[in-house]
Amino acid sequence: MLGVVIGAALALNTIIAVSIGGIVPLLLKRTGQDPAVASGPLLTTITDMAGFFLVLSLASLAMPYLV
């Protein structure tokens, strides 16, 4: 069950990273910012926060099956 939790979190985190990685440069370009400079740190921060949230929330939901 732990593998399912980690696998689901990884899959969802990848989907979020791909989505944010496509949207953030477009939004930055629209606002007049340089997408090449600001996209990397912003994408990394959002992806890391989403990954921690997904792993911890899925693990807490699956806690009865993990113990």
For residue 32, the one-letter residue type is G
Full domain range(s) for residue 35? 2-66
For residue 66, the one-letter residue type is L
Give per-residue pLDDT as tens, 6-47.
Answer: 999 999 999 999 999 999 999 989 999 888 888 888 889 999
Domain count, the chain: 1
Q: How far apart are CA 19 and CA 55, in angstroms?
A: 19
pTM above 0.85, yes or no: no
